[in-house]
Amino acid sequence: MALNGKSAVVTGAAMGIGRAITEILLQNGAQVALLDVNKTAGESLMEELNKQYGADRTLFLSCNVESEEQIKAAFQKTAETFGGIDILCNNAGILNESTWEKTVSINLMGVIRGTYLALEHMSKLSGGRGGVIINTASMAGIGPLPTCPVYTATKSGVVGFTRAMATASAASGYGIRINVLCPGFVQTDLMSNITTRLGQFSHLADLAHQLIDKIGIIKVSDVAECLLELVTDDTKNGEALMVFEKGRQYVNFPSFTQ
């Protein structure tokens, strides 16, 4: 899909990976609605981006992905402003093993909520133009992190949901490709004060730091470039793309039918 003139929504857009995703979509000609629960950071980023790309290219909408009502309103506003929705990036996520139910609600249920509500705007079966949905999971969704079992569960859930929905979409004729990004460690706020985010597993923080040393830390722009590949390559559906210091790699899942 060529991005010029396309309408995109990014959740968790105010900082980190979401901000980098927003910027790469803008650089390639899309209009972007930035959804985030952090109003101050979101509005200040929008002001910055307006100066760079023009006021008609971005829209900040205060939105908590835990709320179906807020997502619905944000999608409606995006569709009215940009004339539809072509791309959805379900990216908002947290790392907090103490408030584990909130972690499930944002990281996994937020992706499902966003996807189902977006179908109403994007699916060709409900008058939409079709398009692409990219979910942000993690390498933890492919290989488990013992330091954060619930975070791992949410990311495995996002990988499974994406792959199942991708096949469902193709079989149903929604006209929507759905893929999942699986980054390794990325330099963002989420990686700060890791020990305090691990809750009852904070005593295992050394294990996390050893793994970080082994795998390395990448930049948000490395993740954004992978997103661009998954959005623009029309052959990709149901793919999980890992990205870490060694490079990028599509996951080869076992097949039970061949």
Ligand X SMILES: NC(=O)C1=CN([C@@H]2O[C@H](COP(=O)(O)OP(=O)(O)OC[C@H]3O[C@@H](n4cnc5c(N)ncnc54)[C@H](O)[C@@H]3O)[C@@H](O)[C@H]2O)C=CC1
Ligand Y SMILES: CCCCCC(=O)/C=C/C=C\C=C\C=C\[C@@H](O)[C@@H](O)CCCC(=O)O
Binding of ligand Y by 215 (CB under 6 A): yes
Nearest to 160 by CA among 119, 108, 117: 108
Residues 117-156, interacting with ligand Y (CB under 6 A): 138-140, 143-148
**For residue 147, what are its two tokens?**
């330091």
Residue 151 designated active-site = yes
Residues 3-32, interacting with ligand X (CB under 6 A): 11-12, 14-18
Q: Which of 116, 151, 174, 250 is catalytic?
A: 151
Residues 104-123, interacting with ligand X (CB under 6 A): 106
Binding of ligand Y by 194 (CB under 6 A): yes
H/E run at residue 187: none
Residues 183-212, interacting with ligand X (CB under 6 A): 183, 185-186, 188-191
Figure out which of the listed residues 46, 59, 208, 220 binds ligand Y, where binding follows CB under 6 A: 208
Number of residues binding to ligand Y, judged by CB under 6 A: 17
144 HSE (CA, 13 A, CB side): 6
Nearest to 138 by CA among 204, 203, 91, 194: 91
Pairing outcome for strands 7-11 and 87-90: parallel
Binding of ligand Y by 158 (CB under 6 A): no
Q: Which stretch binds ligand X (CB under 6 A): 23-31, 64-72, 125-133, 247-255?
A: 64-72
Q: Is 203 helix (H, G, I), strand (E, B) or coil?
A: helix
**For residue 11, what are its two tokens?**
């959740």
Residue 232 φ/ψ region, left for φ over 0, alpha for ψ in the -120 to 50 degree band, beta for the rest: alpha
Q: Which residues bind ligand X (CB under 6 A)?
A: 11-12, 14-18, 36-38, 63-66, 91-94, 106, 136, 138, 183, 185-186, 188-191
Residues annotated as catalytic (active site), given as ranges: 151
